[in-house]
Amino acid sequence: MVSLLKKLIGSRNDRLLKQYRKLVTQINALESKTAALSDAELAAKTDEFRSRHAQGTSLDDLLPEAFAVVRESGKRVFGMRHFDVQMLGGIALHNGKIAEMRTGEGKTLMATLPVYLNAIAGKGVHVVTVNDYLARRDADWMGRLYGFLGMTTGVVVPQQPNDEKIAAYAADITYGTNNEFGFDYLRDNMEYRVEDRRQRPLAYAIVDEVDSILIDEARTPLIISGQAEDHTELYIRMNAVPPLLTRMASEPKAHEPEPEGDFWVDEKSQQVYLSEKGHETAERLLSQQGILPEGESLYDPRHISLMHHLMVALRANTLFFRDQQYVVQDGEVVIVDEFTGRLMVGRRWSDGLHQAVEAKEGVKIQHENQTLASITFQNYFRMYEKLSGMTGTADTEAYEFQEIYSLETVIIPTNKPMIRKDQNDQVFKTAQEKFNAILDDIRDCHERGQPVLVGTTSIENSELLAGLLKQAKLPHEVLNAKQHAREAEIVAEAGKPGHITIATNMAGRGTDIVLGGSIEKQVDLIRADESLSDADKETRIEKVRADWKPANEQVKAAGGLRIIGTERHESRRIDNQLRGRAGRQGDPGSSRFYLSLEDPLMRIFAGDRVRAIMERLKLPEGEPIEAGMVTRSIETAQRKVEGRNFDIRKQLLEYDDVSNDQRKVLYAQRNDVLEASSIRTSVENLAEAAVTDLVRQHIPADSVEEQWDVAALEKALAADWQIVLPLTEMLEKESSLTDDDILARVNDAVREVYSGKIALVGDEPWAQFERSIMLQAIDTHWREHLSSLDHLRQGIHLRGYAQKNPKQEYKREAFELFSGMLDRIRDDVVRVLLTVRVQSPEQVEQAEAETNQSHVQNVQYHHSDYDEALANADEATQNEQSAQQPARNVLPKVGRNDPCPCGSGKKYKQCHGKLA
């Protein structure tokens, strides 16, 4: 099957390359003509392409000329001529594919081709790198070429002032890390002013090391979190108020004197209403409690949220009872499902109700860190109009790229034939024996003057090995993927004769190991030196090259770079990355992995088989087994783990897809609100919908008058919205009024009240106020919704859903939560805008300023490796450890005996927990 598939894919790859080669021939044919242009004429091509594109010439049609122009500029700016294989890769990238190109073949330079071509469209091109160091380095480096051609380049990095960031996004080309792009997207959707947003619509991205970013890092979402204002104190104080208010003996009725009391309870709709008198009592009590300043009204714009807190406290005290709607368990309020009686572990009532109940019960009021926004890389990158990527190792993950991102992988041939020797794995019984063999190999290389790069899967192992080398008096460098800039320098030296470098897989990514050591920096310095003439520069560069040549020859003679793997990684791709550091651009090189039956991967997956083989062969102590069969069975084990990890990512994605759809809807609406010159019509529509809902609760459509509860409606209007409308009286006078007539009258009354408010402060200030109330409501409720979704996701597996698919249940409930949220946004906006008492434009401005203030503190950005990027080297080790628990934020905490969250039905310890 697999080989059949390979054949099929193989031939598809060949077909694509054949197409691309035709284009390369066209590009090559333009070379001499392009070379004849002056620098200025070459640069003028950019504007020419821009205007031709504006007049309808497609980027595809411009490709041959544009690529020829980039190649010519590369020659002039860097002294490097794009190889034909780089052209092939560039075409693949332009076509929205993944170009798999071996390490060292020059992906950085290759990317300039599609970057330039696509930047002509003027919609912005994003180049995504794995760390900030590479983003800056590549932007600086390749930016020279873009600058030469009259294009601007920007970089986005963490903690950059906003105006710089906006400028960087406005540039033709923007470099940055996946995290920064993702977080900026989320931040943009939290802004209160259009001009504070950073990104333009996402047009085209090239993702470097696409496998790391879209696969390894996609296991955890990006999360922005913060603490909403701490209202614990308010909940507790407010809880003292309801017992001091008197409940009416019955609901008020028409034609009857209002019963004594401050509030009444509508059990049907689970609502509580304050009477006129109750309202006065409440203001007095709140002042006594020190919650409301003396003499101020509950309807002042500043206190508008107090009313909400009071109503929630009243509901908690009159409608929710322990051991009916909820139980108190281990100091927590747990909801009881009203239909099934089951405990809804992990669910919380929204809108502050849960906290109010907690205050009533005297248990701890949960003031959690709230998720303000979150997105997975999968969903972020799928928003680009066109996406492409490049890496040395995509082949093993081609299926996932296709499945999740619809990205096809094209394997680009090497410029020169690859001559690295990959030796079979050697497997030892014990770790001790394995390390002895590794030391022997390293010593041998060192003595023969062959540079060696030793790869480990963890920092601990790097340090262990470093200790052993120290004992053995072998000089070495250790890289931990912490200080990207310094590491790049060390890696550049790693090819010097006899050098020993230990590195975790991530270390020094993106930097080339040149046999004999790198001279690029020296060459660059000479090139950049303005005091030298071109001829002088050439002589000096020649000299640097001549000095370097013997070292290069020596290393080549010793066999090139030697790669030693000390353990197999879970994923074959990472092993291939390590191997790929040797044998670049036709250099000699070799690689071997040393393993032992005590390695975690072997213990869990391949140990028994390999041990049986070893025992049958009766190998003497210290003797390794080395056979294709063993290497294959290890690969099978890796494939299994890869499959599992794929499932975990897919699982995450399937859950995220639900919130993704909701996020898109909500962000789109939020942006509409932000961009619209006025949202008056929307507000009017919301009010009308809210009115209809309220009226229909009391006067159902097409009902007879006996079913109507006009008095209750009258009261509700007054209590909820401060709308006083003598409906009962009207009906007495005009007995022919239909339900629709009443609806219309209420709508008229609401409109009248509303226009009155607008007239007081003026149209323009009020429009701004409407906008900020709306944004505020959207943000607050969305945050709450995110945390409900989180709770839901964590709880859904723990609830005993007999025979039910948790994912389906999740989808269904998530949808209900979302529509509930939209209703709450509507009701909030309508209530606040109808009841707020403002008299002057100044008052509106003040209220607006307060609303627009961020109501969250302690904003934090999370992704498994983002913290690391921000932390300094000292703290870095700790972060690495947390980075090794990538599923932390995603998957619920599960006990070893709980069902596995992947939904397999197996126990966690027998499924994904095996790896933990």
Which positions lie near ligand ADP, rule CB under 6 A? 80-83, 86, 101, 103-109, 512, 520
Task: Please say which residue, 223 or 519, places its beta carbon nearer to ligand ADP.
Answer: 519
Number of other residues whose CB lies within 10 A of the CB of residue 10: 12
Cα–Cα distance measured from residue 180 to residue 156, given in angstroms and rounded to the nearest whole number = 7
Task: Please say which residue, 514 or 558, places its beta carbon nearer to ligand ADP.
Answer: 514
Task: Please say which residue, 125 or 298, places its beta carbon nearer to ligand ADP.
Answer: 125
- Backbone φ and ψ for 616, nearest 5 degrees, come out as -65, -35
Q: How far is the CB of 561 from ligand ADP (least distance, A)?
A: 13
Task: Please say which residue, 404 or 492, places its beta carbon nearer to ligand ADP.
Answer: 492
Q: Which of 117, 61, 58 is nearest to 87 (CA)?
A: 117
Is the sign of the CA dihedral 179, 181, 187, 189 positive or negative?
A: negative
Q: How far is the CB of 138 from ligand ADP (least distance, A)?
A: 9
- Backbone φ and ψ for 91, nearest 5 degrees, come out as -65, -40
Q: Are 768 and 848 in contact (CB under 8 A)?
A: yes
Task: Please say which residue, 105 or 408, places its beta carbon nearer to ligand ADP.
Answer: 105
Task: Please say which residue, 71 or 649, places its beta carbon nearer to ligand ADP.
Answer: 71
Q: How far is the CB of 27 from ligand ADP (least distance, A)?
A: 14
Q: How far is the CB of 82 from ligand ADP (least distance, A)?
A: 5
Closest residue to ligand ADP, Cβ-based? 106
Q: Are 170 and 197 in contact (CB under 8 A)?
A: no
Task: Tell the residue number behind the tokens 């931040």, with chain if given.
Answer: 187
Both ends of the chain: CA-CA distance in Å? 32
Cα–Cα distance measured from residue 387 to residue 93, given in angstroms and rounded to the nearest whole number = 8
Q: How far is the CB of 104 from ligand ADP (least distance, A)?
A: 5
Q: Are 882 and 864 in contact (CB under 8 A)?
A: yes
Q: How far is the CB of 109 from ligand ADP (least distance, A)?
A: 4
Q: How far is the CB of 581 from ligand ADP (least distance, A)?
A: 9
Q: Where are the beta strands (DSSP E) in 683-837?
A: none
| Radius of gyration in angstroms for the set of CA atoms belonging to the chain, rounded to a whole number | 34
Q: Are 127 and 208 in contact (CB under 8 A)?
A: yes
Q: Are 649 and 887 in contact (CB under 8 A)?
A: no
Q: How far is the CB of 426 from ligand ADP (least distance, A)?
A: 28
Q: How far is the CB of 107 from ligand ADP (least distance, A)?
A: 4
What's the burial of 152, exposed, middle or buried (CB within 10 Å: 0-12/13-18/19+)? middle
Number of other residues whose CB lies within 10 A of the CB of residue 290: 9
Cα–Cα distance measured from residue 487 to residue 465, given in angstroms and rounded to the nearest whole number = 18
Q: Which residues pair with 594 in a beta bridge?
A: 426
Task: Please say which residue, 80 or 724, places its beta carbon nearer to ligand ADP.
Answer: 80
DSSP states of 836-868 as a string?
Answer: ----SHHHHHHHHHHHHS--EEEEEEE-TTHHH
Task: Please say which residue, 89 or 806, places its beta carbon nearer to ligand ADP.
Answer: 89
Task: Please say which residue, 241 or 513, places its beta carbon nearer to ligand ADP.
Answer: 513
Q: How far is the CB of 84 from ligand ADP (least distance, A)?
A: 10
Task: Tell the residue number behind the tokens 């051609």, with chain if given.
Answer: 149
Task: Please say which residue, 352 or 508, places its beta carbon nearer to ligand ADP.
Answer: 508
Task: Please say which residue, 493 or 684, places its beta carbon nearer to ligand ADP.
Answer: 493
Task: Please say which residue, 82 or 826, places its beta carbon nearer to ligand ADP.
Answer: 82
Task: Give the side-chain half-sphere CA count within 13 A for 341.
Answer: 1
Q: How far is the CB of 646 from ligand ADP (least distance, A)?
A: 25
Task: Please say which residue, 306 or 453, places its beta carbon nearer to ligand ADP.
Answer: 453
Sequence-distant (≥ 6) Cβ neighbours of residue 320 within 8 angstroms: 326, 353, 357
Q: How far is the CB of 142 from ligand ADP (least distance, A)?
A: 10
Task: Please say which residue, 219 or 509, places its beta carbon nearer to ligand ADP.
Answer: 509
Q: How far is the CB of 80 from ligand ADP (least distance, A)?
A: 4
518 alpha-carbon distance from chain centroid:
36
Q: How far is the CB of 392 from ligand ADP (least distance, A)?
A: 6
Q: What is the largest CA-CA distance in the chain?
A: 110
Q: How far is the CB of 350 from ligand ADP (least distance, A)?
A: 49
User: Where do the H-state alpha helices sit in 449-597?
Assistant: 459-471, 484-493, 520-528, 534-557, 572-579
DSSP states of 229-253 as a string?
Answer: P--HHHHHHHHTSGGGSPBPSS---
Three-class SS of residue 222? strand
Sequence-distant (≥ 6) Cβ neighbours of residue 603 within 8 angstroms: 597
Number of other residues whose CB lies within 10 A of the CB of residue 110: 26
Task: Please say which residue, 105 or 567, places its beta carbon nearer to ligand ADP.
Answer: 105
Q: Which of 628, 556, 622, 624 is nearest to 589 (CA)?
A: 556
Q: Which of 552, 466, 474 is nearest to 503 (CA)?
A: 466
Cα–Cα distance measured from residue 293 to residue 295, given in angstroms and rounded to the nearest whole number = 6
Task: Please say which residue, 103 or 590, places its beta carbon nearer to ligand ADP.
Answer: 103
Q: Which residues pair with 589 in a beta bridge?
A: 561
Q: Which of 551, 363, 566, 347 is nearest to 449 (CA)?
A: 551
Cα–Cα distance measured from residue 314 to residue 297, given in angstroms and rounded to the nearest whole number = 19
Q: How far is the CB of 20 from ligand ADP (least distance, A)?
A: 17
Q: How far is the CB of 101 from ligand ADP (least distance, A)?
A: 6
Task: Please say which residue, 90 or 624, places its beta carbon nearer to ligand ADP.
Answer: 90
Q: How far is the CB of 617 from ligand ADP (least distance, A)?
A: 40
Q: Are 276 and 270 in contact (CB under 8 A)?
A: no
Q: Which residues pair with 69 in a beta bridge?
A: none
Task: Please say which residue, 584 or 863, places its beta carbon nearer to ligand ADP.
Answer: 584
Task: Tell the residue number behind the tokens 């640069």, with chain if given.
Answer: 43
What's the burial of 464, exposed, middle or buried (CB within 10 Å: 0-12/13-18/19+)? middle
